[in-house]
Chains A and B, each alone.
Chain A
Amino acid sequence: MKALLQIFYNEWLGLYRNKVLIGSFLLLAFVLALTAWMGVKKQDQLTIQTHSASNYARSEWESIGPMNPHSAAHEGTYAYYSPGLMSSLDEGILSQVGRVLRLEGHVQNEMAYSARSQEAIYSRFGGLMPSLLLQWVVPLLLIFLSFRSIYQEKEQGRITLLLSQGLGIKQILVGKALAYFSIAIIALLSTVLIQFIFLEFSQSSDIARLVGFVISYILFYWLIVSLTIVLSTVLKNATGALSSMLAIWVLWMVLLPKWTASIASEKYPLPSRFEFKQAMKDDRSKGIDGHNPSKDRINKLRDSVLAKYGVSSDTALPINLDGIVMQADEEYGNLVWDKHIGGVFESFSLQKRLSQWTSILNPMHALKSASMSFAGTDMLHHIHFQKEAEEYRRSFIKKLNDEHAYGGSKTGDWSWQSTEEFFKNIDPFKYSTVEISKYKRYWQVDLLILLVWSASITVLMCLISKKHLI
């Protein structure tokens, strides 16, 4: 253990006394700290904006005054997606999918106001997030720092002197790997620490996410360092080690993700926006429409309502038949939506499963998936919000339709108004990020894959014999 620490310390000393390396590291640390700080500021800004917009929407709703409930359903309300503090580390798909959902009668809207649609710089360059640096820059720095580490000991003949001092091969390899690994850990922890301090992580769920996030990166960085060390040991020259690692890097970061996306979309295709809307429209048109109801369905429903109240005409009903018809239409529309969005969600789920299988070949994918999952910014978290918002929309519209039907108006009376008090009593939409345990079967697979990769490369490193070194 002592010798291991000596090697570790000596590697650090070497880095410290190399002005170029220490300069690069300080630059990276500065950029990471700056990015983390910017992430914190952006998170603060988003929280303020979300609260402000949410409060404004609510105040608009509460000051709606006396109004016909169906008109109020068309006024609608808004659901604002606030994915949680961790999203400042990895924004995942947030920049594409938007954060605001308009909730109204008859229709399930898409989310709007994505960062990409709001900020030109986003659409051109993407956002500078800590995850971008942690996933791209830090591993590349580790490769460049460590690709010569063992090779130069062999090339310069120091390895025999080291071994003759009683060092084991494992001590040399692991000691060096730990030194480079610690650089990554410092970069990672300082980034996370800035977020932790300034964003006031206090809820255990956020801390659990933060721990999971850190563990994912720790496993990946160890994998990168140990793999580079192994290649630096077994390959005949440093150029071979560097080019092999860069080839693996390109494969993991660029080629495999593209191939995976192509295969996944080929095997489990998603409908285009147009196809989806058209299919919804077709299915819905077969049913009852609140404004233009199918005669048959209306008549059937009307007959059953008249029979229930024992009257022979709409005007004789003590309630408003229009409200009942609109709710029936809403429920039919919900069935259509569930059918189509269910298919989309199913495809997402299958695509996710397929891409997780490819993580066996591409641990970088497992890292990205785990990172987004712990940050609460992956597709699963997005779908969870959409489902919660849709559930709220259904209960919201039902309350309005029921008020229209049973609030005191008569069939055909579209000028009837409900009280302001009624609208105020409808609870606003509240959303809190889902517990991380809900998706554990996904992130557990990601972590397992990273663990197996790291452990396998560590075992490989321990199997290296003297013949590779001398």
Chain B
Amino acid sequence: MSAISIKGLKKRYASHPALQGVDLAVQPGEIYGLLGQNGAGKTTTIQILLGFQSPDEGTVSLLGKTPGKDRSLTKDVAYIPENVSLYPYLNGIENLQYFSRLANIHVTKNEAENLLIKCGLAANAHFRLTSTYSKGMRQKIGIAIALAKSAQIFLLDEPSSGLDPLASNELTQLLRELAANGKSILMASHDIFRIRETADKIGILHRGKILKELHSADVSASDIESIYLEYMKM
């Protein structure tokens, strides 16, 4: 059974069709990269997977459950938004502990420090207020929050946006490690290089439709770029 399954997904905002029949599946231990330009429907797809929005048509299931209807899914699904916004009056550790507590997970200070180190956040930043953090540092806290959930499914919306090359590379390594541990990951991005480096399978999403699926092992980043640009002209 696929960990993430989307069949014939359609969503319309007023007169604008955001999704026009998306089909995709992500297996356990697989990273699926949803590649598309702004407005292609990547965020809408993720929001439907999170249960924040309802589909107009089609079916969506995560671990065989329907998002938005089965509340037990929240512990199995971790989400990392494009821009991880934290509480500026809390430090890194406190933010991690707070968001974890909201998910009913108790993270001790030691565990929190280990998680942040695992996510590449330097120890000297752990107890600084997050109002002083860069976007990359906040992103790392976001990943740590997701890791603390020990979720089966990770949904990432433009996770490498705004990250420096080193941080992006660290993110890729981390996601690969998670996948190696059997986690299913769906990441939406318009960063062709990063998606090629990170994902096992890539779906090119354009105007609410997946036009092509590629196995990243079979193509180079420049191949993907050529294919992508070709489809964008359609």
- Residues on A lying within 8 angstroms of B by beta carbon are 2-3, 6-7, 10, 13-14, 17-18, 156-158, 160-167, 466-467, 470
Pick out which of these stretches binds chain A: B29-37, B75-83, B185-193. Answer: B75-83
Asked whether any CB of chain A lies closer than 8 Å to the CB of B142, the reply is yes
Asked whether any CB of chain A lies closer than 8 Å to the CB of B107, the reply is no
Report 27 cross-chain contacts, Cβ distance below 8 Å, ordered by A residue. Answer: A3-B101, A3-B104, A6-B101, A6-B102, A7-B102, A10-B90, A13-B90, A156-B85, A157-B81, A157-B82, A157-B83, A157-B85, A158-B85, A160-B52, A160-B79, A161-B81, A161-B84, A161-B99, A162-B99, A162-B102, A163-B50, A164-B78, A165-B99, A165-B149, A166-B71, A466-B52, A466-B53
- Indicate if the CB atoms of B52 and A470 lie closer than 8 Å: yes
How far is B52's CA from A165's CA once the two chains are assembled, in angstroms?
A: 12
- Indicate if the CB atoms of A13 and B101 lie closer than 8 Å: no
**B145 contacts across to A, CB distance below 8 A:** 161, 165
- Indicate if the CB atoms of A164 and B74 lie closer than 8 Å: yes
**B89 contacts across to A, CB distance below 8 A:** 13-14, 17-18
Besides A157-B81, A164-B50, A165-B99, 7 other CB < 8 A contacts? A7-B102, A10-B98, A160-B47, A161-B99, A162-B102, A165-B103, A166-B104
How far is B102's CA from A470's CA once the two chains are assembled, in angstroms?
A: 19
- Indicate if the CB atoms of B85 and A470 lie closer than 8 Å: no
Give the one of A156, A163, A166, A467 with max B CB within 10 A: A166
- Indicate if the CB atoms of B77 and A14 lie closer than 8 Å: no
Asked whether any CB of chain A lies closer than 8 Å to the CB of B87, the reply is yes
**A163 in complex: contacting residue of B52, B75, B78, B82, CB < 8 Å:** B52
Asked whether any CB of chain A lies closer than 8 Å to the CB of B179, the reply is no
Chain B residue nearest to A10 (CB atoms) is: B98
- Indicate if the CB atoms of A158 and B86 lie closer than 8 Å: yes
How far is B54's CA from A467's CA once the two chains are assembled, in angstroms?
A: 10
- Tell me the chain B residues, 113-137 only, with Cβ under 8 Å from chain A: none
- Indicate if the CB atoms of A166 and B102 lie closer than 8 Å: yes
How far is B82's CA from A17's CA once the two chains are assembled, in angstroms?
A: 27
**A164 contacts across to B, CB distance below 8 A:** 50, 74, 77-79
Known: A157-B85, A160-B81. A3 touches B53 (CB 8 A): no
How far is B75's CA from A414's CA once the two chains are assembled, in angstroms?
A: 99
- Indicate if the CB atoms of B104 and A2 lie closer than 8 Å: yes
Leading 4 A-B pairs by shortest Cβ distance: A166-B74, A164-B79, A156-B85, A17-B89
What's the count of A-B pairs with C-beta under 8 Å? 66
B136 to chain A, nearest CB (A): 16
**A10 contacts across to B, CB distance below 8 A:** 87, 90, 98
**A165 in complex: contacting residue of B53, B83, B102, CB < 8 Å:** B102
**B74 contacts across to A, CB distance below 8 A:** 164-166
- Tell me the chain B residues, 49-65 only, with Cβ under 8 Å from chain A: 50, 52-53
How far is B180's CA from A19's CA once the two chains are assembled, in angstroms?
A: 47
Interface size class, chain B: 20 to 34
How far is B88's CA from A18's CA once the two chains are assembled, in angstroms?
A: 10
Chain B residue nearest to A153 (CB atoms) is: B85
Give the one of B53, B75, B99 with max A CB within 10 A: B99
**A466 contacts across to B, CB distance below 8 A:** 52-53
**A470 contacts across to B, CB distance below 8 A:** 47, 52-53
**B87 in complex: contacting residue of A3, A14, A157, CB < 8 Å:** A14
Give the one of B90, B102, B149 with max A CB within 10 A: B102
How far is B84's CA from A157's CA once the two chains are assembled, in angstroms?
A: 7
How far is B83's CA from A164's CA once the two chains are assembled, in angstroms?
A: 14
B4 to chain A, nearest CB (A): 15
**A2 contacts across to B, CB distance below 8 A:** 101, 104
B46 to chain A, nearest CB (A): 9
B21 to chain A, nearest CB (A): 23
**B149 contacts across to A, CB distance below 8 A:** 165
How far is B144's CA from A90's CA once the two chains are assembled, in angstroms?
A: 54
Known: A3-B102, A3-B104, A10-B98. A166 touches B85 (CB 8 A): no
A110 to chain B, nearest CB (A): 59
A157 to chain B, nearest CB (A): 5
How far is B83's CA from A297's CA once the two chains are assembled, in angstroms?
A: 96
**A161 in complex: contacting residue of B47, B71, B142, CB < 8 Å:** B142
A87 to chain B, nearest CB (A): 42
Chain B residue nearest to A172 (CB atoms) is: B102
How far is B87's CA from A3's CA once the two chains are assembled, in angstroms?
A: 16
Give the one of A10, A14, A18, A467 with max B CB within 10 A: A10
A430 to chain B, nearest CB (A): 59
**B71 contacts across to A, CB distance below 8 A:** 166
**A7 contacts across to B, CB distance below 8 A:** 102
Give the one of A17, A161, A164, A467 with max B CB within 10 A: A164
**A161 contacts across to B, CB distance below 8 A:** 79, 81, 84-85, 99, 142, 145
How far is B47's CA from A445's CA once the two chains are assembled, in angstroms?
A: 47
- Indicate if the CB atoms of A166 and B103 lie closer than 8 Å: yes
How far is B67's CA from A466's CA once the two chains are assembled, in angstroms?
A: 14
How far is B138's CA from A156's CA once the two chains are assembled, in angstroms?
A: 13
How far is B145's CA from A160's CA once the two chains are assembled, in angstroms?
A: 13
Chain B residue nearest to A175 (CB atoms) is: B102
**A163 contacts across to B, CB distance below 8 A:** 50, 52
How far is B75's CA from A17's CA once the two chains are assembled, in angstroms?
A: 31
**A13 contacts across to B, CB distance below 8 A:** 89-90
A134 to chain B, nearest CB (A): 29
How far is B163's CA from A154's CA once the two chains are assembled, in angstroms?
A: 23
